Structures are given as structure tokens and as C-alpha cells.
């Protein structure tokens, strides 16, 4: 939101958010009664919900900034070979799984392809609110397409920011005049 004025002034401009396929594991969708995952925490549930939140946020942002010439899209980069799970940061079965599947993972450069495509390719200049995989529109689950959940996440995020002392710029007024 702090970049919004610059994005609008630079329009056409693009916002690209990295999500991930594991958002589909967010059974039950967002936990509105525990959005910060302070209760019943498990790493995989928190990760899956954070990836769903990335998609919902992107869709909410896309609707708000489209009139101002700004697009917003989310993507799945693929199973990227990072250091995640290699330095003892993921333990137990998950850590074993990361090591087991490491040979199947793609390089960081390959994982960046869809991000770079969405940020630069003229063919997607006006595409907004999508979820992309391998430089193509990907399938979104019903949870990820839930406009009500996207709006609620936006509202809850603004509320959480305000409770932490941050004021959110009024996006509706800015985007309609941009």
C-alpha cells in the first residue's frame, strides 16, 4: 500500500505476488477466528493458509487498482530448490520430505520464470486477478475464487494493521481517481 501512489503514477504497472500450489491444502479456507494462527498451529496449515491469503489478497488488490491502470497477479513458481528444510529449519517428517524430493526441485532461475513473465511480458499487460503456473493461467480452487473471502481478508488486514498503529491508505478513493 505504501507503493500505491508510485504504482498509479507509473501506470501501466504490475504487482506480482508469489503464492504456491500448496494453498490447496488450506482445508476449510481462512480461519477467521484465528487469522494469525495463534491456536492449533502446524507449520503446513499455516503455510497453506498463507499461500491462499496471497491469492485472495492479490484478487482483492486487482479489483481495487484496475481502474488506475495497475494489474495484480499471483503465481506458483514450482518446486524451487531453495535452502528451506536444509539447515535444520524444518524437522521431522517434513524435513525428511524436503531432502527426499530435493532432486525433483527446479533451479531458482527456473522458478523465477513465471514471475519475470508476469512482470515484463507484453501479452499479459492487461491481465489481472489471475493465478499463474508455468507462464499460463492456472486453475484456482473455489476457495481461491471466493470474492467474499478476498474482501474479508482485505478488511481484516486493514483492521490488524490499524490495531498495530499503521493506517492504511484509502484505496477506493485513490483507484477511482487514478
Q: Choose the catalytic residue: 23, 47, 98, 131.
A: 47
Packing angle of the helix pair 147-163, 43-65 (nearest 10 deg): 100
| Preceding omega of 12 cis (within 30 degrees of 0) | yes
Task: Determine whether 98 is an active site residue.
Answer: no
State the pairing for strand pair 131-133/70-76: parallel
Q: Which residues are catalytic?
A: 47
Amino acid at each position: 500500500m505504501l507503493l500505491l501512489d508510485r504504482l498509479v503514477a507509473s501506470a501501466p504497472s504490475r504487482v506480482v505476488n508469489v503464492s504456491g500450489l500448496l494453498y490447496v491444502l488450506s482445508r476449510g479456507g481462512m480461519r477467521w477466528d484465528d487469522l494469525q494462527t495463534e491456536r492449533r498451529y502446524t507449520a503446513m496449515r499455516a503455510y497453506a493458509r498463507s499461500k491462499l491469503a496471497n491469492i485472495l489478497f492479490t484478487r482483492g488488490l486487482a479489483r481495487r487498482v484496475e481502474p488506475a491502470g495497475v494489474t495484480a497477479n499471483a503465481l506458483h513458481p514450482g518446486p524451487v530448490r531453495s535452502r528451506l528444510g536444509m539447515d535444520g529449519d524444518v524437522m521431522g517428517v517434513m524435513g525428511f520430505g524436503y531432502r527426499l524430493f530435493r532432486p525433483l526441485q527446479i533451479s531458482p532461475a527456473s522458478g523465477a520464470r513465471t514471475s519475470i513473465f508476469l512482470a515484463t511480458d507484453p501479452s499479459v499487460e492487461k491481465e489481472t486477478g489471475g493465478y499463474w503456473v508455468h507462464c499460463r493461467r492456472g486453475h484456482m480452487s473455489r476457495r481461491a475464487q471466493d470474492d467474499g473471502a478476498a474482501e474479508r481478508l482485505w478488511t481484516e488486514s486493514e483492521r490488524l494493521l490499524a490495531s498495530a498503529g499503521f493506517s492504511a491508505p484509502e484505496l477506493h478513493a485513490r483507484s477511482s481517481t487514478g
